[in-house]
A and B are shown apart, each in its own frame.
Chain A
């Protein structure tokens, strides 16, 4: 069971790059790392997913070192609308993934 650890909160100014790290020391071979964003009174929304090295999409990048015991979500040039809670999720893709483990979440606040 891959337990994850994230910083509870982070602050950043608009226009800066923000990096949020998640520790998952017990990650299993079949596990993928997924990041979700959650706004107040909404369900989590998928941001990015990866298995190893680096993944980039239109909104973020995900860096995963070779040992896969941690991962870093990178948000380029953040804006006020990026203020949200960010969750790291570690688990494999199989059905019956009742042991999916979300991290504690990082509350990111963007300052004007």
Chain B
């Protein structure tokens, strides 16, 4: 079984659209993160989410919003997509100091 899964794996969309990326974990961990990996392969944390408490990296535009319908899911909603949003997005489930990453979603904004 895949510990952390993401859908879709690829997402191509036009500027101005609103899209969502889903993340599911079957590890039972309380904390989940969303990361953005840009074309230079820099990994930057966007959000931390734990038991309905959300901590946002202050550099993340408010067009991005995580939504957690239950403990196993942390979805990422993006409004009014921009060209600069093109990147690979990873979610991770956290246990102690160890993170379990999903396979990533490659978002391309045209």
Contact = CB atoms under 8 A, between A and B. Distances in A.
Interface of A: 32, 34, 36, 41-46, 49, 85, 87, 93, 95-100, 102, 104-105
Given A43-B4, A43-B103, A95-B31, A49 B90 contact: no
Contacts of B94: 95
8 contacts: A41-B104, A43-B103, A46-B98, A95-B53, A98-B45, A98-B57, A102-B42, A105-B43
B13 to A, nearest CB: 20
Contacts of B110: none
Given A43-B4, A93-B96, A98 B55 contact: yes
A98 B44 CA distance: 9
Given A95-B50, A98-B55, A43 B42 contact: no
A41 B50 CA distance: 27
A105 B40 CA distance: 10
Given A32-B97, A43-B92, A100 B45 contact: yes
